[in-house]
Amino acid sequence: MADCLFSKLIVGEIPSKKIYEDEKVFVFQDINPQAPVHFLIIPREHIVGLKEATAKDAEILGYCQLVAAKLGREYKIEEGYRTVYNVGPKSGQSVFHLHLHLIGGRDMKWPPG
């Protein structure tokens, strides 16, 4: 989607602090980190959000979680991290391109907020 902020990040039209990329996903540092590790894992294919995802998107949804686990190991936060899909404006979703938050490197509290 041409007017999507995250789609522009993927193709390099907007700069980001890239952490990882492959043929399926692009990962970058959140611009407003809530923990020492706060990355956004986004599929290269534009999906508006989790509520708009369909059965054909199941593989990429799972793949994003596997990338989070890989990065959790690489960044040595395996003792505790959180993965979060915000769904809709009331959850805090402000960019409507599906993205998985990987948050860790500090103690997490419950409930989250």
Catalytic residue numbers, as ranges: 99
Given a contact cutoff of 8 angstroms between Cβ atoms, the answer to whether 41 and 50 are in contact is no
Distance, in Å, from the CA atom of 2 to the CA atom of 8, rounded to the nearest integer, reads 7
Return the number of other C-beta atoms located less than 10 Å from residue 41's C-beta: 25
Run of H or E including 5:
helix 5-10
Distance, in Å, from the CA atom of 112 to the CA atom of 20, rounded to the nearest integer, reads 26
